[in-house]
Structure 1
């Protein structure tokens, strides 16, 4: 049995993309075969919190605690750009995100969630 990963969307107030990131992530999870995934939004409000959580700009999408888009955590409370097949974007490509979710599920096959 393959269990869905935990997915967190880290965002800052005023980010124009974080709500869309929630919907994109839910859609990508379904595409990856994880229909029952919980997507948790976490507002980042300080540089210290940003570093502690692994925030690499808003939105940061963490799949099982890992940023699949290789963003380096910074203390900067700023927006983020993703490299996509269509050029820079405020959101990752849905196929890229589905691949990251699928890889996380493959890595945890047979491991129950806590």
Structure 2
């Protein structure tokens, strides 16, 4: 039996998008058929913590401990820009996040579609 992946939204206090990212992650989990999945918000407060957690800017959404939107892990406590089908955005594409959660539920790697 496959257990639902843990979903974490890593953010910095000054990020204006972190609450929207938390809502997006919860919505994507429901759309992926994983409504029972807990989504955790984790504030990143130091460069060391950022590096340890795999933080790639705020918000970073981890699905089963992996970032479905890999980018450079610099440890910088800064906002993040995602490449989406509509161009650069402060949040990932909801459909891509839903696909990543579905893949994690199936124990499959996620391949981001353009």
Q: Taking structure 2 as the reference length, what is the TM-score of the superposition?
A: 0.90
Q: How does 1:15-94 map to 2 (within 5 A)?
A: 15-94=15-94
How many residue pairs are counted as aligned between the two chains? 108
Deviant stretches of 4+, over 2 Å: none
Report the CA distance between 1:28 and its aligned residue: 0.5
What SS is found at the alignment partner of 1:107?
A: coil
Q: Name whichever of 81-90 and 66-75 sits farther off.
A: 66-75
Work out the CA distance in 1 between the residues paired with 2:60 and 2:37: 17
What is the rounded CA distance, in whole Å, between the counterparts of 2:38 and 2:72 in structure 1?
24
State the secondary structure of the residue aligned to 1:33. Answer: coil
Asked which structure has the greater RCO (Cα within 8 Å, sep 6+), the reply is 1
Structure 1 equivalent of residue 112 of structure 2: none
| Consecutive unaligned residues in structure 1, runs of 5 or more | 109-114
